[in-house]
């Protein structure tokens, strides 16, 4: 049977493109989402891909959500930790809630999901985990101490878990997207975004499909020697 992939935040933006690209490669795909029922319904109507609603920042919900998937479809071979939010503001205006929401949804989620799939991956001697980091976790970004800290944490998490998984056939890699044409980036004030795009050597925002291409590469059975790496896909904006 085809390998089973779970993509968090899979019904919109980069997550949607990842789901579609994985399905095109012949994987069985399930898209998790957190809150937007309308977008999730439109996504499954459009694509036929099954969706599962649970809050990735909540361990108990994740545990329950994964158990239900495994019961119905069998063990998860491929996990893409993609779900993420922004609460952009400078630190002197940032509330503890804005800090915590971003840390919980973007970083703690990687622990929650990985923790709930790792034992079956270890038992079966195969797993692929791809964590979606960010250029802003590598380089920092004005107005994003919460997001940059969480995404930077993802890069450390990736390297540590890669070491733990290596002997068990589990690879763990990160992708660090630059500015991609999604709702998240479109929410950046136009005058600010214009200045950012001017600093991208390729001269444009990236497309979600250009991130998905990296995921497909990293999760392949043939990619077993690639682990602990970060693939930067950012149009040349930051070379790390």
Site residues, ligand CAA (CB under 6 A): 86, 88-90, 134-136, 141-144, 147, 177, 179, 184-185, 188-189, 192
Give the CA count within 13 Å in the CB-facing half-sphere of 103: 9
* Catalytic pick among 27, 142, 147, 179: 147
Closest approach, Cβ 74 to ligand CAA, in A, equals: 33
**Hey, what are 54's tokens?**
């649970």
Between 75 and 140, name the residue whose CB sits nearer to ligand CAA: 140
Closest approach, Cβ 231 to ligand CAA, in A, equals: 14
Is 147 noted as a catalytic residue in this protein? yes
Between 57 and 144, name the residue whose CB sits nearer to ligand CAA: 144
Closest approach, Cβ 45 to ligand CAA, in A, equals: 27
Closest approach, Cβ 193 to ligand CAA, in A, equals: 8
Length of the chain: 240
In the numeric block, the tokens 């779970």 are attached to 6
Among 13, 1, 4, residue whose Cα is nearest residue 120? 4
User: Among all residues, whose Cβ is closest to ligand CAA?
Assistant: 143
Give 32's contacts (C-beta < 8 A, 6+ positions apart): 6, 7, 8, 9, 10, 51, 52, 53, 54, 56, 65, 83
Q: Give the span between the Cα atoms of 211 and 86, in whole angstroms.
A: 19
Between 127 and 206, name the residue whose CB sits nearer to ligand CAA: 206
Neighbours of 186 (CB within 10 A): 11
Closest approach, Cβ 183 to ligand CAA, in A, equals: 10
Distances (CA, A) of 41 to 11, 50, 80, 205: 9, 10, 20, 27
**Hey, what are 190's tokens?**
């136009």
Between 58 and 141, name the residue whose CB sits nearer to ligand CAA: 141
Q: Which residues pair with 50 in a beta bridge?
A: 30
Between 197 and 223, name the residue whose CB sits nearer to ligand CAA: 197
Q: Give the span between the Cα atoms of 9 and 13, in whole angstroms.
A: 8
Residues with catalytic function: 147
């Amino acid at each position: 049977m085809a390998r089973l992939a779970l993509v968090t935040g899979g019904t919109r933006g980069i997550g949607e493109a990842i789901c579609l690209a994985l399905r095109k490669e012949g994987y069985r795909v399930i898209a998790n989402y957190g809150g937007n029922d309308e977008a999730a319904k439109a996504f499954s109507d459009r694509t036929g891909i099954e969706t599962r609603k649970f809050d990735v920042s909540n361990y108990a919900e994740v545990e329950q959500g994964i158990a239900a998937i495994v019961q119905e479809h069998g063990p998860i071979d491929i996990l893409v930790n993609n779900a993420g939010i922004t609460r952009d503001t400078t630190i002197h205006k940032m509330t503890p809630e804005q800090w915590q929401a971003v840390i919980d949804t973007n970083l703690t989620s990687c622990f929650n999901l990985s923790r709930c799939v790792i034992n079956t991956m270890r038992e079966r001697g195969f797993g692929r985990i791809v964590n979606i980091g960010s250029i802003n976790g590598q380089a920092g970004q004005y107005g994003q101490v919460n997001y940059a800290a969480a995404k930077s944490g993802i890069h450390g998490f990736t390297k540590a878990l890669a070491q733990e998984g290596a002997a068990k056939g589990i690879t763990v890699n990160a992708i660090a997207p630059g500015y991609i044409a999604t709702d998240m980036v479109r929410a950046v004030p136009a005058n600010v975004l214009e200045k950012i795009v001017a600093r991208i050597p390729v001269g444009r925002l990236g497309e979600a499909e250009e991130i998905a291409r990296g995921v497909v590469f990293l999760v392949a059975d043939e990619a077993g020697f690639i682990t602990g790496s970060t693939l930067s896909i950012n149009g040349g904006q930051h070379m790390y």
